[in-house]
A and B are shown apart, each in its own frame.
Chain A
Amino acid sequence: GENVEQHPSTLSVQEGDSAVIKCTYSDSASNYFPWYKQELGKRPQLIIDIRSNVGEKKDQRIAVTLNKTAKHFSLHITETQPEDSAVYFCAAMREAAGNKLTFGGGTRVLVKP
């Protein structure tokens, strides 16, 4: 089955700096890659996703890039703010193969004011 590795496990950045989280996946047929943000004591919520037919997607200060050849994808947060402090999870899925998301281990991001 699919295996998703996520790095780093913790990330501390200064407010205003950029943050980058990287994930690798094992199933070359995976074609959907969402990112979830989980604030302390809350549920995971989708912040951005990308499909395998697209190399990059942006939404204001966040962007995701996908390299299908290398089987890795990354989340980029620019101009970080204290409210970006949370745990971020990447996930991968092969549609029509059960439609089951496989999550990475999570990255705890701390934005220092």
Chain B
Amino acid sequence: DAGVIQSPRHEVTEMGQEVTLRCKPISGHDYLFWYRQTMMRGLELLIYFNNNVPIDDSGMPEDRFSAKMPNASFSTLKIQPSEPRDSAVYFCASRLSGFEEQFFGPGTRLTVL
């Protein structure tokens, strides 16, 4: 397996634009997680899914953020409209279940000008 795949790897956009980040989890994994990493706030869990169903979105900062998982092999995180404070590295991660290892994708570095 190629591991968790994220695209794009880098995104530069202007304030007010819509941004869509994409993730393909490892095949067969039951859980998918979206994290945001910044120097100030560390590694924050935004939302996670179990079997394509959102379980906990309490980390989503505000209504500008939304996430979907239409099937077991694809998820999106959308920011609309984007703001400069959304600039961060966004990681997607997947895990089989329970005590199994959680694998992170390479991340998407988002810069909002």
Seen from chain A, the residues whose Cβ lies within 8 Å of a Cβ on chain B are 32, 34, 42-46, 49, 51, 89, 95-96, 98-103, 105-106
B42→A105 contact, CB < 8 A? yes
B42 touches A99 (CB 8 A): no
The secondary structure that dominates the A interface is loop
A34 vs B99: C-alpha distance when bound (angstroms): 9
Instruction: List residues of chain B with CB under 8 Å of any chain A CB.
Output: 31, 33, 42-43, 45, 48, 50, 55-56, 91, 95, 97-99, 101-102, 104-107
Closest to B43 in A: A103
10 A-B pairs (CB sep. < 8 Å):
A43-B91, A43-B104, A43-B105, A43-B106, A44-B104, A95-B98, A98-B55, A99-B31, A99-B95, A103-B42
The reply to whether B43 and A106 contact each other, CB–CB distance below 8 Å, is: yes
Other-chain residue from A46, A49, A89 in contact with B43 (beta carbon distance below 8 A): A89
Check A51 against B43 for contact (C-beta < 8 Å).
no
